């Protein structure tokens, strides 16, 4: 029996325009689009609310927040995944690339980071296969260059895991995101309750790690992305030279470049730029780097990521629509553009034949409020 739902009297956000109309879902796909405010018998009357494609999130640290809800508190993997999944559904996100750190620090030198990537990936894949998750989950390996175990942990993954993204992340203090050591000190000491002496020792330890493993780990990350068939991303590129190196490695996504020079270099080389939605909403970077709004004004912002606040993704897309005076374009930064950047062609736009991943929202001023979320035609919020 055909399963059909009609969502009517909505403002449909299409790829290049917003129209009043109705949308028919059949067997998990968008079957038809009709213009006008009519509400057919049996249809769901959306009362003029906006109807957009479900949001596509390429980089979020939200799962890690559920894994460690307080400092030194570990939460069970399945419970964390479930809570993360439900939270994203409530934010209108229907496709997520769960960012899992690969590369650990097991020895001395201050803050240790234990290994967890393989076990976490196994749990996500098992829950996905069993149908326990409300939205579409994919894997994103965050390869931490400044670590001790990166190469060995990357080797634990194969093409069977269907890794979508591998990103190169180098959080060595004094460069990239943490070029300003003073801001890095404020961040680390506040997070880990380090003394000034502890902090100095931590910086020396990380710098030594990068010196010992950096070159080998960068090469291992590039090789792993190729072996796994994953999109390769850079992280926190700051200079044109760093972008040139990223491009030479085959990077097609630049996550959170920290300067206008880096964004310009990405643009000239055809590398899509991802910026944090919280940065746009807050009016600046929490690390003291470039503001996302500056990139938007220069036409250097291609994709938004919720980063550490899932609810920020739709809020920021609407804010971009206001900045550009083009709501469809703003929504595109969290739907079609990220979907195509990772090779997903079955979602991200509203047209017949696409997967019925959808979000219904209203506006309170410029604040978007999610009313309903559909994943493959099934209401999940």
- pLDDT given for residue 288 in this prediction: 65
Going through 36-175 in order, the beta strands assigned E by DSSP cover 44-45, 50-53, 55-60, 93-102, 136-144, 163-169
The lowest-confidence range among 13-22, 53-62, 195-204, 266-275 is: 195-204
Q: In degrees rounded to 5, what are phi and psi of residue 86? A: -65, -40
- Give the model's confidence band at 109: pLDDT under 50 very low, under 70 low, under 90 confident, else very high: low
Asked whether residue 372 carries a pLDDT value surpassing 80, the answer given is: yes
**Cα dihedral sign for 140, 146, 152, 153?**
negative
Asked whether residue 112 carries a pLDDT value surpassing 80, the answer given is: no
d(CA 100, CA 369): 28
List the Cα angle 299/89/165 in 5-degree steps: 55
- Give the model's confidence band at 190: pLDDT under 50 very low, under 70 low, under 90 confident, else very high: low
d(CA 147, CA 212): 10
- pLDDT given for residue 326 in this prediction: 98
Beta carbons of 360 and 51 less than 8 angstroms apart = yes
Beta carbons of 170 and 164 less than 8 angstroms apart = no
In the numeric block, which tokens belong to residue 139? 């894997």
Q: Are strands 378-379 and 367-375 parallel, antiparallel or unpaired?
A: antiparallel
In the numeric block, which tokens belong to residue 128? 């996905």
Sequence spans of domains, the chain: 54-348
pTM for this predicted structure: 0.92
Q: Are strands 136-144 and 378-379 parallel, antiparallel or unpaired?
A: unpaired
Quick one: which of 34, 13, 96, 62 has its CA closest to 342?
Answer: 96
How large is the average pLDDT for residues 30-41?
97
Sort 369 into a burial class: Cβ within 10 Å, 0-12 / 13-18 / 19+. middle
**Cα dihedral sign for 243, 249, 253, 254?**
negative
Quick one: which of 288, 280, 289 has its CA closest to 366?
Answer: 280
In the numeric block, which tokens belong to residue 167? 């990103």
Quick one: which of 11, 9, 5, 16 has its CA closest to 335?
Answer: 16
Element (H, E) at 317: helix 312-324
List the Cα angle 367/281/299 in 5-degree steps: 110
Angle between helices 117-129 and 77-90 (to 10 degrees): 60
Element (H, E) at 327: helix 327-332
d(CA 366, CA 336): 22
Element (H, E) at 303: strand 303-305
Over the stretch 290-323, which tens digit does the pLDDT of each residue have?
999 999 999 999 999 999 999 999 999 999 999 9
Question: What's the DSSP call for residue 286?
Answer: T
Which strands sit side by side in the sheet containing 253-255, from one edge to the other?
A: 55-60, 93-102, 136-144, 163-169, 231-235, 253-255, 272-276, 303-305
- pLDDT given for residue 55 in this prediction: 99
- pLDDT given for residue 329 in this prediction: 98
Beta carbons of 186 and 142 less than 8 angstroms apart = no
Beta carbons of 199 and 185 less than 8 angstroms apart = yes
Question: What's the DSSP call for residue 271?
Answer: P
CATH number of 54-348: 3.20.20.140
How far the first Cα of the chain sits from its last, in Å, is 24
């Amino acid at each position: 029996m055909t399963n059909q739902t009609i969502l009517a009297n909505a403002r449909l956000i299409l790829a290049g325009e917003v129209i009043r109309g109705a949308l028919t879902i059949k067997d998990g796909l968008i079957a038809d689009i009709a213009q006008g405010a009519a509400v057919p018998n049996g249809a769901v009357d959306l009362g003029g609310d906006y109807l957009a494609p479900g949001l596509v999130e390429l980089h979020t640290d939200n799962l890690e927040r559920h894994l460690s809800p307080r400092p030194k508190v570990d939460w069970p993997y399945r419970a964390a995944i479930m809570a993360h999944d439900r939270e994203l559904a409530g934010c209108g996100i229907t496709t997520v690339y769960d960012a899992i750190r690969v590369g650990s620090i097991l020895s001395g030198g201050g803050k240790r980071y234990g290994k967890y990537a393989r076990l976490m990936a196994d749990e996500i894949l098992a829950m996905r296969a069993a149908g326990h998750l409300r939205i579409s989950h994919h894997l994103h390996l965050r390869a931490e260059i400044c670590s001790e175990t990166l190469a060995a942990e990357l080797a634990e993954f194969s093409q069977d895991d269907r890794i979508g993204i591998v990103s190169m992340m180098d959080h060595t203090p004094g460069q990239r995101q943490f070029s300003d050591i003073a801001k890095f000190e404020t961040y680390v000491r506040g997070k880990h309750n380090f003394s000034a002496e502890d902090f100095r020792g931590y910086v020396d330890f990380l710098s030594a790690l990068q010196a010992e493993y950096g070159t080998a780990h960068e090469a291992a990350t590039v090789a792993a992305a190729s072996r796994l068939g994953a999109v390769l991303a850079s992280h926190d590129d700051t200079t044109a030279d760093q972008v040139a190196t990223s491009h030479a490695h085959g990077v097609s996504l630049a996550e959170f470049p920290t300067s206008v020079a880096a964004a310009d270099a990405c643009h000239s080389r055809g590398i899509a730029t991802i910026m944090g939605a919280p940065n746009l909403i807050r009016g600046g970077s929490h690390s003291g780097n470039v503001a996302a709004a500056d990139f938007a004004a220069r036409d250097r912002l291609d994709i938004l990521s919720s980063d550490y606040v899932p609810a920020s993704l739709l809020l920021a897309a609407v804010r971009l629509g206001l900045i550009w005076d083009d709501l469809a374009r703003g929504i595109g930064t969290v739907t079609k553009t990220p979907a195509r950047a990772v090779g997903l062609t079955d979602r991200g736009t509203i047209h017949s034949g696409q997967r019925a991943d959808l979000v219904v929202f209203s506006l309170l001023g410029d604040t978007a409020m999610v009313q309903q979320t559909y994943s493959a035609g099934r209401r999940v919020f």
